[in-house]
Amino acid sequence: FQPKLLKGKKILITAGATLEMIDPVRAITNLSSGKMGYAIAQAAYEMGADVTLVSGATALNPPNGVRNISATSAATMYQNVMQNIASQDIFIGVAAVADYSPAQTQQQKIKKSEQSLSLELSRNKDIIAEVASLPSPPFCVGFAAETENLLEYAEAKRLKKKLPLIVANLTSDAMGNDNNKVFLLDSNGTHPLEQAAKIEIARSLLTHVASML
C-alpha cells in the first residue's frame, strides 16, 4: 500500500456492535466483532490519515495513533458522529448499528412472571443516511452485511442511503472472522476483492476510496 495516500485526509469510522439497554442488566446487541472497522482505522492511520474511531461494543483495543470515542448505543453513536462530522473528508460506517431499541429502558431489573412479555421497540436513526444527506457531506462509504441476495440488497442500500460506495459482504464470511470476502459497489458497477485478511481488505478499500476522491 502507499503510506502517504491519505495524508492530510480526515476520516471518521464507526465500528462494532451497538448495545441497546432493556434494563440495567439486559441488552439487545448483535454479533459484530469490530474487526473490520478497526482494521480500516489502522490501515487509514498507516496511510497517513487523521483517524477518529467511534466504537460500539467490542472486545478489541483501538489501534495506535487513532482517536477513539466509545459509544455503545445507537443514539450515543449518532451523537458522537454528528459532533465530529463537520471537518471530515471521509466517513466509513462499519458499525452494525441496531435498527431498533427498547422504547423505554427500565430503571430497575424487570421481574419475571408467568405471563409472556413483549418489548416495544422504536426505530433508531440511520447514522450514515443522515451523514450522507448533510449539505456538504464527506465521502460516505457504507457496509452491507447480508445472509442472502447480497449484491442486490447492497446496491439497494447504496442507492437508498445515497452513498457513492458500499462494501457488500456475507455475514458468514464477515462476522467475527479475521478474513473477509467483499465486493465494492459504486456507480461504475461491482468490484470483487479476493478473500483476504481484514487488514488487506481495508488497504484495498482505502486505495479504491482514494481513487474516487
Binding residues for CTP: 99, 109, 143, 157, 161
**5, 6, 90, 144: which one binds ligand C5P (CB under 6 A):** 144
Q: Per-residue b/e over 113-139, b at no fewer than 16 CB within 10 Å?
A: eeeeeeeeeeebebbbbebbeeeebbb
Say if CB 38 and CB 77 are below 8 A apart.
no
**88, 126, 180, 209: which one binds ligand C5P (CB under 6 A):** 126
- Which is nearer to ligand C5P, 110 or 159 (by Cβ)? 159
**14, 42, 80, 169: which one binds ligand C5P (CB under 6 A):** 14
Please report whether residue 66 would count as binding ligand C5P according to CB under 6 A.
no
Say if CB 92 and CB 167 are below 8 A apart.
no
Listed in sequence order, the residues at least 6 apart from 19 whose beta carbon sits closer than 8 Å to its beta carbon are 27, 28, 29, 56, 57, 72, 73
**71, 88, 142, 199: which one binds ligand C5P (CB under 6 A):** 142
Please report whether residue 74 would count as binding ligand C5P according to CB under 6 A.
yes
Please report whether residue 124 would count as binding ligand C5P according to CB under 6 A.
yes
For strands 196-197 and 100-102, give the pairing: unpaired
Q: Which residues bind ligand C5P (CB under 6 A)?
A: 14, 74, 93-95, 97, 99, 124-128, 142-144, 157
